[in-house]
Amino acid sequence: MLGITGYGAYLPKMRLQKQVIANANAWFDSGLKGLAKGEKAICNWDEDAITMAVEAFNDCCGKTPGQAPNALFVASTSLPFNDRQNSVLVAEALNLDIANLRTMDVTSSQRASTSALLSALDMAAAGKNAVLVASEHRRTKCASREEMLYGDGAAAISVGGDDVIAEFITSQSQAVDFIDHFRGEGHDFDYGWEERWIRDEGYMKIVPSTVNTLLEKAGIEAGDIAHFILPTDMGRVPAMVAKKLGINDGAVADNLLQSVGNTGTAHAMLLLAHRLEQAQPGDLVLVVGFGQGCDVVLFKVTEAISGYSANRGVSGQLARGKAEENYNKFQSFNNLLVKELGKRSEANKQAYLSAMYRMRALTNSFMGGRCTQCDTVQMPKHKYCVNPECGAYDTQVDHPMVGATGHVDTWTADSLTFDFNPPAYFGMVTFTGGGRIMMDMSEVEPETFDTGSEVSVHFRIKQLDHQAGFRKYFWKAIQV
Amino acid sequence: MASGIKDKVVILGAGCSRFGERWDCEAADLMAEAFEECIVDAGIEKERIEAAWQATGIDQFSVGPGAMPLSMGLRLPYIPVTRLENYCASGTEAFRAATYAVASGACDIALAMGFEKLKDTGYGGLPQRSRGVSNDLYYPNLSAPGMFAQLAAGYRGKYGVSKEDVKRAMAHISVKSHANGIKNPRAHLRRAISEEQVLNAQMIADPIGLFDCCGVSDGAACAIVTTPEIARSLGKDNLVAVKALQLCASNGEEGGFSDWDGSYVKTTRIATKRAYEEAGVTKPREEISMTEVHDCFSITEMVTMEDLFLSDDGGAVKDVLDGVFDADGKIPCQIDGGLKCFGHPIGASGLRMIYEMYLQLSGRAGERQLANPKLGLTHNLGGFPHQNVVSVAIVGQHGI
């Protein structure tokens, strides 16, 4: 049997209240009011498709270093690098066994994630395990329909042949150059066409024809589908398509438009993960990816689902949100404003690539050192042991710290140094299993944060260089 | 232990420019201002200086690298000139180098000059700078006040002192230094401030507010050193001698291993113990007449009182609030106004402190003269509380 072996999700903690977008723009487009219900997940300034991919993988597979899937695929249309394989950075941040790993970025369409899922399933059919992470950080124009409807988030699906929780039955794909929207080279934002046309000529025709071919091939009635996943930002479309196909109303997956927003190519996997949380053994799950054609993938939930428990999962991610009512902050974090950042923001941001390569065990993987003579864990790894009682030369071996938790010894909220989300919190963190380092912090809740607070470490953006189109990453402490 | 530096070298002359926003001055102008006072005080010709050390902390924002700024700036007579940089201890490092050169017999008379032009950046606070290409990849995003604010969190965590009490002691420190600075015509900030002003000032890096920070300014300070014998041969008496010069640099243990909790600065304690031993000081609270410490931020001064063993561990809040370190207290601290009122042109600060000690010990400190001081201690702390360079110098009347 081959199929899905696990799922996970990540949603940024910040949830922008859609009403604030509508209110700010009401003078210009009062029509936005109609979309102003609920909230959407938005990235902090130090989050992007890469950092969310790392989190979603962890939610799916845990933080244990040295995991060895045969392949890691990252699907996204908002990857920070056009030429630097993003999935490799994700793999290093995850401390995967990179010496034996196939990686691939899958992009350029809203159905990139279903296409990547199919490739992963092909690998599984060849006896290999693969993990697909779909992640999207969506930038939109001010006062646009997309601004009301898009959200940021990521989901991970692992596939293989053991402990399958949803068996892969079959799939059907077709390629059609139907352009509901596009984003051309050198352009930041989506350019779309009239919704009614997209609905009638796109969703209502291309999806049913693909699904019907699949159902026929699989010998399954539409009414047998227990979970129908059609990601879209057009709220009524899934039910309309389901009705046309003869799929039961109750099977139609909620698109989470009022709690997350449409997370682009991540959305199919996010909704799949969400439905798997609620699925029963025997349920048929139909996943649709729509964009320049259509992928349809059919799964059957197995008995193993009963024994499976996700970490946070989509429900946990939905529950951990924090309402954000500052529209200006959202625009600032997405570089949508011509903003005075101050002279301190003009620091040299040069990426010294050779130094970055040397330092990447620490920066990409949060690798420490452990002295084989006295067992002292230290960060960074060093030629000489830091323990004054030991001081041994060249005795340290790699000691992964990604899963470590620790407590805050010292800290401050720094308003002088430049930060996209001031004040900048940083301080000394001592880890429970040994090791300590002075590090940046993120997502600080001033009401509960203080000396002694427990923290875990998370891969985040350290510095953005909009001029060079580069960004550096490092690990930040976040209160547990 | 080696015999140490005590009484082997004396200060022949010292000088200090006015510190401040010296928009109209090049670094060379500031150096000349300090040097003219110094050379007149020393009573020698420039040609008698045999070697010189120049301290600048952040060269790219002032004068560029190498020894040219000092050598060219003072038109020194083709002598060995060396540029030194060692964080905020740079000025004291230059003094140390000149003193050691004289003590070794390598030269008879040497000059230590520290200066910095900080006000050419276009913004307040210290200039932005790299901490090293690789370090920048993982060091936190921080400012100088952010670094030293760590001490407040660590101190509170260790002693269970309330945020309010720590902040009140911090405020007392700044109010005290401003009261002292008013009396010093060389100081940058010369006005009284109230505790209320300090407590209500804009927050810079919690709990450090605007008035908990020292100023940022341009300035230069210098000293000429020689042997006691040569000084006497030049007609000097009441000599001010170097009693101890100690330096301690972190090796990463505080930040990477030990149970260092952020409530103190380990290197200060080590350098201080060595300095007391070198100077023969056994009861610092009785023997040290006055201190000039590295009050880059008020919390640094507070913690330093414990690190110099002038307060018990956990006792600095009370001692500060009791006025032990006020101008009329038992061991006045920053009688010249400190970094708080002078600002901190990095390379100059250590020598500015030595200059004040020299004036006080020579009885020439004017309106702020303390009664009969015997030993003065200066302290510089550069870097982070967990990873730094500390210098401690003790100067006093020769032969006692």
pTM: 0.95
Q: Does B266 touch chain A (CB under 8 A)?
A: no
CA distance B211 to A347: 26
Compute φ and ψ for B212, nearest 5 degrees. Answer: -90, -5
Asked if pLDDT for residue B205 goes beyond 90, the answer is yes
Provide, as residue numbers in chain B, all residues whose Cβ is less than 8 Å from the Cβ of A390: none
CATH code: domain B10-118+218-233 is: 3.40.47.10
> Which of A234, A383, A212 minimizes the C-alpha distance to A296?
A212
pLDDT of B239 reads 98
Q: Does A381 touch chain B (CB under 8 A)?
A: no
Residue in chain A nearest B146 by alpha carbon: A414
Beta strands A367-371 and A322-324: pairing type? unpaired
Task: Report the run of H or E that residue B394 belongs to, with start and end.
Answer: strand B387-397
Residue pair B362/B397 in contact (Cβ under 8 Å)? The answer is no
Q: Does A387 touch chain B (CB under 8 A)?
A: yes
Alpha-helical (H) ranges within A182-306 are 195-197, 204-218, 237-245, 267-278
Composition of chain A by helix, strand, coil, percent to 5: 30, 30, 40
> Which of B47, B98, B144, B104 minimizes the C-alpha distance to B351?
B98
* DSSP helix/strand/coil, B187: coil
| Contact flag A343-B149 (C-beta cutoff 8 Å) | no
Rg value, chain B, Cα: 20
> What CA–CA distances, in Å, run from A123 to A69, A75, A104, A174, A474?
11, 16, 13, 20, 32
CB atoms within 10 A of CB A188: 11
B 233-252: CB under 8 A from A: 251-252
480 residues of chain A, pLDDT tens digit each: 999 999 999 999 999 999 999 999 999 999 999 999 999 999 999 999 999 999 999 999 999 999 999 999 999 999 999 999 999 999 999 999 999 999 999 999 999 999 999 999 999 999 999 999 999 999 999 999 999 999 999 999 999 999 999 999 999 999 999 999 999 999 999 999 999 999 999 999 999 999 999 999 999 999 999 999 999 999 999 999 999 999 999 999 999 999 999 999 999 999 999 999 999 999 999 999 999 999 999 999 999 999 998 789 999 999 999 999 999 999 999 999 999 999 999 988 999 999 999 999 999 999 999 999 999 999 999 999 999 999 999 999 999 999 999 999 999 999 999 999 999 999 999 999 999 999 999 999 999 999 999 999 999 999 999 999 999 999 999 999
Q: Does B146 touch chain A (CB under 8 A)?
A: yes
Name the minimum distance, in Å, from the CA of A65 to any CA of chain B: 20
Report the residue of B143, B167, B263, B265 to disrupt the A interface, i.e. the one with the largest count of A CBs within 10 Å: B143
Choose the closest CB to B153 out of A439, A451, A474.
A451
Asked if pLDDT for residue B62 goes beyond 80, the answer is no
Q: Does B122 touch chain A (CB under 8 A)?
A: yes
* DSSP helix/strand/coil, B138: coil
CB atoms within 10 A of CB A218: 17
| Contact flag A358-B130 (C-beta cutoff 8 Å) | no
Q: Is residue A302 part of a domain?
A: yes
Report the residue of A349, A384, A428 to disrupt the B interface, i.e. the one with the largest count of B CBs within 10 Å: A428
pLDDT of A308 reads 92
CA distance B222 to B98: 11
Q: Does A426 touch chain B (CB under 8 A)?
A: yes
Name the minimum distance, in Å, from the CA of B254 to any CA of chain A: 9
User: At which of A333, A363, A389 does a domain end?
Assistant: A333
pLDDT of B60 reads 66
Residues A206, A208, A212, A218, Cα dihedral to 10°: 90
> What does the pLDDT look like over B348-362, one tens digit per residue?
999 999 999 999 999
Q: Is residue A422 part of a domain?
A: yes
pLDDT of B181 reads 97
Q: Is residue A54 part of a domain?
A: yes
Alpha-helical (H) ranges within chain B are 27-42, 68-73, 90-104, 144-159, 163-181, 195-200, 228-233, 253-256, 266-279, 284-287, 298-307, 316-321, 338-342, 346-361
> Which of A169, A197, A165, A160 minimizes the C-alpha distance to A181?
A197
CB atoms within 10 A of CB A98: 15
Structure tokens belonging to residue A56: 């979603």
Interhelix angle B266-279/B298-307, nearest 10 degrees:
50
Burial class (CB in 10 A: 0-12, 13-18, 19+), B5: buried
For chain B, helix (H) and strand (E) counts, in that order, are 14, 11
CATH number at residue A430: 2.40.50
Report the residue of A345, A384, A412 to disrupt the B interface, i.e. the one with the largest count of B CBs within 10 Å: A412
| Contact flag B140-A438 (C-beta cutoff 8 Å) | yes
Q: Which superfamily, per CATH, for B143-213+240-397?
A: Thiolase/Chalcone synthase (3.40.47.10)
CA distance B183 to B193: 14
Provide the 8-state DSSP code for A82: S
> What does the pLDDT look like over B230-271, one tens digit per residue?
999 999 999 999 999 999 999 999 999 878 899 999 999 999
CA distance B88 to B65: 17
| DSSP string of B72-123, one letter each residue | HHTT--S--EEEE-BTBTHHHHHHHHHHHHHHHTS-S-EEEEEEE----SSS
pLDDT of B40 reads 98
Asked if pLDDT for residue B59 goes beyond 90, the answer is no
CATH number at residue A21: 3.40.47.10
User: At which of A333, A352, A379 does a domain end?
Assistant: A333
Q: Does A358 touch chain B (CB under 8 A)?
A: yes
Show the domain range for A410: 403-479
One domain, residues A300 and A426: no
CA distance B343 to B18: 11
* DSSP helix/strand/coil, A146: helix
pLDDT of B1 reads 60
Provide, as residue numbers in chain B, all residues whose Cβ is less than 8 Å from the Cβ of A428: 150, 154, 255, 262, 386
Provide, as residue numbers in chain A, all residues whose Cβ is less than 8 Å from the Cβ of B251: 386
> What CA–CA distances, in Å, run from A236 to A40, A107, A253, B382?
18, 26, 11, 63
Q: Answer left, alpha or beta for residue B246, where phi above 0 means left and psi between -120 and 50 means alpha.
A: beta
Provide, as residue numbers in chain B, all residues whose Cβ is less than 8 Å from the Cβ of A367: none
> Which of A321, A303, A301 minimizes the C-alpha distance to A312?
A321
Q: Is residue A392 part of a domain?
A: no
Distance of CA A150 to the CA centre of its chain: 14
Q: What stretch(es) of chain B map to CATH 3.40.47.10?
A: 10-118+218-233, 143-213+240-397
Q: Does A452 touch chain B (CB under 8 A)?
A: yes
Q: Is residue A314 part of a domain?
A: yes
User: At which of A333, A350, A376 does a domain end?
Assistant: A333
> What does the pLDDT look like over B333-346, one tens digit per residue?
999 999 999 999 99
**Average pLDDT value for residue range B318-330:** 98
Total structural domains in chain A? 2
> Which of B10, B73, B13 minimizes the C-alpha distance to B38?
B13
| Contact flag A410-B154 (C-beta cutoff 8 Å) | yes
